[in-house]
Structures are given as structure tokens and as C-alpha cells.
Amino acid sequence: MPEISIQAERLFYFMGVPVTNALLLAVAVSLILISVAFYFRKRFSMVPGGFQNFLEFSLDKLLDLMDSVLGARALSEKYLPLIATVFIFILFSNWFGLLPGVGSIGLENSHFLPLFRSPASDLNFTIALAIISVFGVNILGALALGPKKHLSKFFTIRSPIFSFVGLLEFISEFIKIISFSFRLFGNVFAGEVLLVIVGFLVPYFIPLPFLFLEIFVGFIQAFIFSMLTLVFVAMAVREEAH
């Protein structure tokens, strides 16, 4: 049975920085998405075709969903780049981790070393995403309300009760990082372990339903991560009720 490692395996060093198989696939996904974006950007027209129609329909539905949280189309369009980028990047990172060859193509040394690994099955990847999301939310909140008013949500001397509640809110920002990262990591890593075990025990046909399940789970996890980011953005840019 293949070895299951909870830690992403290191492949080589680049300018003194260790490059793991999860990081390598994350970089590959990023480059592919950027290339596809530039390719289609030059081919969009005022009269949309089939694929452009699908993209515009999906974008409109996403904006409708964001409207229900933010309450205004102007705000939805303003924060769309962050939410859409988070969703698309996590979604394709999860799906690319299910492609044939990921986890099965690698180097044979003292033990088998996979060349690629699903990025979200590495805790470093999910923690980095969570930090970007939480810090991005607070930066957007500071830009929308002003640094002083935004920080007053956490640090205030109006009364001992408000000071204590603000301190709890500040601690909760760090708890969000833990919650974000472990939720995504746990679901994706558990799915990979399930596919490895089922594929080893019954290599033909039986793993297919589990593979389709992981495709769905990959979508759901990307959706949950991006929607939670959206909710936190809505809370951060909204003035405190009196």
C-alpha cells in the first residue's frame, strides 16, 4: 500500500526555499489559470458566444448571491475580485489534485516521492490562504471605514464590557485562521486518503463513485471558504450598530 504522509514531501530547493509537491502543483494551477485568463480576455466580444454566455451567466449569479449578503450591487462588484479569485483558485486546486498522475507519478529513491500533491492537502497551503483571507478582510474593513473606526471594533475604552467584547473579537480573528485552514485541509486530506485506500483495495470501478464524491466535495469546500470570506467582508465593511 502507498505510504500516506500528512506532510507535503520536499522535492528540491529553489533559492534556498524548499519546494514541496503540493507547492509545485499550486504554482502550476496558478500559471494555468493566469494563462487561461489572458487567453480569453483578448477573445471576449460585445456579442457573447457560447462560452462567454456561460461565464457571464455564472458571474451574474455570483453577483446576485453577493448582493444578498452585502445588500448592494456596487459593493458586490467592488469585492467580486477577491471572492471570485478565492473560489476559483481553491476549486481548481482541489480538482487538479484528482487528475490522473497526481500522487502516482513521482521519483523512486529510498521511498516513492510523488511529484504532485493536492495543494489543500498541505496544511501550509490552507494556513496561507486563511491568513490572506482574514488579513484581506481586515484591510478592506480599514479602507471602507477608516483605520481608526475599524480598530475601534477591537480596541475601545468606552466601557469595560465593550473593551472585553472587543478583545474577544480580536482573538476571534486568529480563531478564524485556524477554523478556515483546518476545515479545508481536513476535508481534502481525508478525501485523498479515502481514494488511496479504496484504490489500493479495489482498483477497478469501485473508486469511481468516491472520485465523483471528491469532485463535489472540492466544489463545496471552495464555495464554503469563499462564502465565509464574503460574510466576514460584509461584517468588516459595515459600520457598527449603536
In a domain, 242, yes or no: no
In a domain, 195, yes or no: yes
Average pLDDT over residues 75-95: 91
At residue 122, φ and ψ (nearest 5 deg) are: -110, 120
In a domain, 1, yes or no: no
Q: Band of the pLDDT at 226, cuts 50, 70, 90?
A: very high
Residue 20 has pLDDT above 80, yes or no: yes
Measure CA 145 to chain center: 26
In a domain, 4, yes or no: no
Domain housing 134: 10-237
Q: Rounded to whole angstroms, how far apart are CA atoms 209 and 216?
A: 11
Give the closest residue to 84 by CA, choosing from 53, 107, 63, 110.
63
Q: E strands within 92-131?
A: 106-108, 112-114
At residue 46, φ and ψ (nearest 5 deg) are: -65, -25
- More confident site: 84 or 104: 84
DSSP state for residue 20 in the 8-state scheme: E
The chain-wide mean pLDDT, for the chain, equals 84
* Cβ count near 45 (within 10 Å): 7
Of all residues in the chain, what percent carry a pLDDT higher than 70?
94
Q: What is the pLDDT of residue 43?
A: 76
Q: How many domains does the structure of the chain reveal?
A: 1
Q: Write out the three cell numbers for 93.
A: 486546486
pLDDT digits (tens, 9 = 90+) for 196-219: 777 767 767 777 887 888 889 889
Instruction: State the residue for C-alpha cell 480563531.
Output: 175
pLDDT digits (tens, 9 = 90+) for 46-70: 766 777 788 888 888 989 999 988 8
In a domain, 41, yes or no: yes
In a domain, 3, yes or no: no
Q: E strands within the chain?
A: 10-14, 17-20, 106-108, 112-114
Q: Is 205 left (phi over 0), alpha (psi -120 to 50) or beta?
A: left
- What global pTM score does this model have? 0.85
- More confident site: 175 or 161: 175
Q: Band of the pLDDT at 242, cuts 50, 70, 90?
A: very low
